[in-house]
Amino acid sequence: MTTKETAPDQNLDLLNANLAKVEELSRRLVDVMGHHKPLRTELNAPETGMFVNAAAAYWQAMTDNPGKVMESQMELWSKSVKHYVEAQHMLMQGKFAAPQDDTPSDRRFSHPMWQTNPYFNFIKQQYMLNKEAVEGAVSDLEGLSVKERQRVEYFSQQILDMMAPTNFLGTNPEALEKAIETDGQSLVDGLENLIADLEDNNGELLVKLADENAFEIGRNIATAPGKVVFRNRMYELLQFTPTTETVHEIPLLIFPPWINKYYILDLKEQNSMIRWLTDQGYTVFVVSWINPDQSYADVGMSDYIEDGFLSAIAETKEITGQKQVNAVGYCIAGTTLHLTLALMKLRGDKSVKSATFFTTLTDFNDQGEFTPFLQNDFIDGIDREIDEAGILRSFIMQRTFSFLRSNDLVYTPAIKSYMMGEAPPAFDLLYWNGDGSGLPGKMAHEYLRNLCQGNQFVNDGIELCGERLHISDVDVPICSVTCETDHIARWKDCYVGFQMTKSRSKTFIVSQSGHIAGIVNPPSKKKYGHYVNKDLTGTAEEFMEGATFQEGSWWPRWDTWLSSKSGKQVSARQPGDSTHNALEDAPGSYVQARATI
């Protein structure tokens, strides 16, 4: 008997052996899920009232205009039957080919078999027909408030995305093809990936987006040389080693968001904003926030302002011997920098010479894509979670952000990992994205209730630190950098709040790309351009209509703006001073702490 004759039997044996492994792994899966404590139901789905209102609106439409509703139904039925007949006709002609396919392009269906194989093409086309019908029905609903409509649209889209045939093994040709090619090994690897993710997260399903073994903080990311020169219960203050003989007199102090880690600004040498700023001759300080545990439950926004922002400003001034600093706030830290500047104005404190804001919201009147999650049912659930855990756990926020881009950040990675058995990529940005921090309970409650829901900072003012703070209190020179496709802090919403300050010197920049890539955009890449307009009196639409597009990164433009507010050149400063001995090398200890599930 030849080798070729025995090969099929060997392949079958291998396939059966892999399927036996699948059974064994399935028992592990059952075990880990048996110990899983489910997340409270309020954080998994909207209150039933939303679906009741949507159903009521649908039935009201059917009562008021039954012809229109029936017309929509008949259109779906007609297209479905026609689609079925066309597929049957091709088969009856003896052609193993798909019928004509006029459905819109969708990268989920990029594998050739979705177009060429009649079985998979039939499933794909029917899914697209159903999707079109559901979206049309939701679009035609009347009698809903703006927020109710946004929520119905969002959650109906989530259901449609979840039910895509690509998400199921039996209807995913690429996954089936690989299972056959690997004699089932891809299924074994995929199930191992699934169980590993569940075990790492106490039964919560968080798809691992990056290979965590490929990165080590301080070794191949967050490597800009510097020292920890101050530490308190809220943050470590990092001062980075100069790379020029002279530096600007006024130091630069950066406040990153405390939802994630500071090293988004220091991933690799090639895209490190911190390294680039030191190369431009700035004395760079960066705040590295604590990753809070339950003992921080009573820490609020006032604590972040007093023991975080004001403390770091004071320490930076003392170390450099300067009366002022230039400050930067990114995302939520930008919002809080605004609050701090308002407080400093009321106290007569002129320690900040200028302020730059990266992707920063101050006006939350339009909640954008977060509208589904910023209503009382979800926030009530978060409040109960906080009461129990003391913090808003990182994975809850990570899951929320991921489902705003579910196909890119949930389903596609899940397919590759769990159905295809692929290891996650060694991607520094995705590694950082998964290295989040929890939020202290009181701070999360105040931010969500008073800023996101109540919009107090731009309405009647928000009570913090014994004062009533308002956006109009901010009057230092400001520069706001926003991102064109940012879905977290939409540039148009950032622009509205930006206009409400009383600053006489204002610069507004719209970078191409999104919340991270639009900011971490070094000049060397020559990738994303930016828009500028000196006229800041009109609407956001008018700003963009009159804007000039500039090729390349916005960093050099900001450098020109910042250097004009940074004083004369002085001898380069080494980290620390006589009263601030280096506590340890950068990146420090706080950044190393991982969030708990």
Distance from C-alpha of 381 to C-alpha of 555, rounded to nearest angstrom: 41
The answer to whether residue 184 scores a pLDDT higher than 80 is yes
- The architecture that CATH gives domain 226-370+457-592 is 3-Layer(aba) Sandwich (3.40)
The answer to whether residue 192 scores a pLDDT higher than 50 is yes
More confident residue, 537 or 64: 537
The answer to whether residue 590 scores a pLDDT higher than 60 is yes
Q: Are 236 and 590 in contact (CB under 8 A)?
A: yes
The answer to whether residue 459 scores a pLDDT higher than 90 is yes
Confidence of residue 5 (pLDDT cuts 50, 70, 90): very low
Q: Are 356 and 492 in contact (CB under 8 A)?
A: no
Mean model confidence pLDDT for the chain: 88
Q: What is the pLDDT of residue 386?
A: 94
Q: What angle do CA 97, 102, 104 make, to 5 degrees?
A: 120
Alpha helices in 321-375 (DSSP H): 332-347
483 given a catalytic annotation: no
The answer to whether residue 2 scores a pLDDT higher than 50 is no
The answer to whether residue 463 scores a pLDDT higher than 80 is yes
Q: What are phi and psi of 268, to 5 degrees?
A: -115, 165
Q: What is the pLDDT of residue 62?
A: 44
CA distance readout (Å), 197 to 114, 201, 209, 246, 342: 30, 6, 10, 49, 44
Q: What is the pLDDT of residue 84?
A: 52
Report, as an integer, the average pLDDT of 282-302. Answer: 97
- Minimum mean pLDDT range among 18-22, 148-152, 294-298: 18-22
Domain boundaries, the chain: 50-179, 226-370+457-592
Q: What is the pLDDT of residue 206?
A: 84
Q: What is the pLDDT of residue 247?
A: 98
Residue type, 417: S
Report, as an integer, the average pLDDT of 487-508. Answer: 96
Percent of the chain scored above 70 by pLDDT? Answer: 87
Alpha-carbon torsion (576, 580, 585, 588), positive or negative: negative
The answer to whether residue 71 scores a pLDDT higher than 60 is no
Short-list 520, 572, 583, 511, CA closest to 544: 511
More confident residue, 550 or 403: 550
Report, as an integer, the average pLDDT of 557-580. Answer: 95
The answer to whether residue 52 scores a pLDDT higher than 70 is no
Q: What is the pLDDT of residue 245?
A: 97
Q: What is the pLDDT of residue 86?
A: 62
Confidence of residue 63 (pLDDT cuts 50, 70, 90): very low
Token representation of residue 575 = 């980290």
Is the model's pTM score more than 0.75? yes
Q: Are 28 and 194 in contact (CB under 8 A)?
A: no
Q: What is the pLDDT of residue 58?
A: 45
List 331, 479, 483, 494, catalytic entry: 331
Confidence of residue 383 (pLDDT cuts 50, 70, 90): very high
Q: What is the pLDDT of residue 559?
A: 98
Distance from C-alpha of 452 to C-alpha of 426, rounded to nearest angstrom: 35
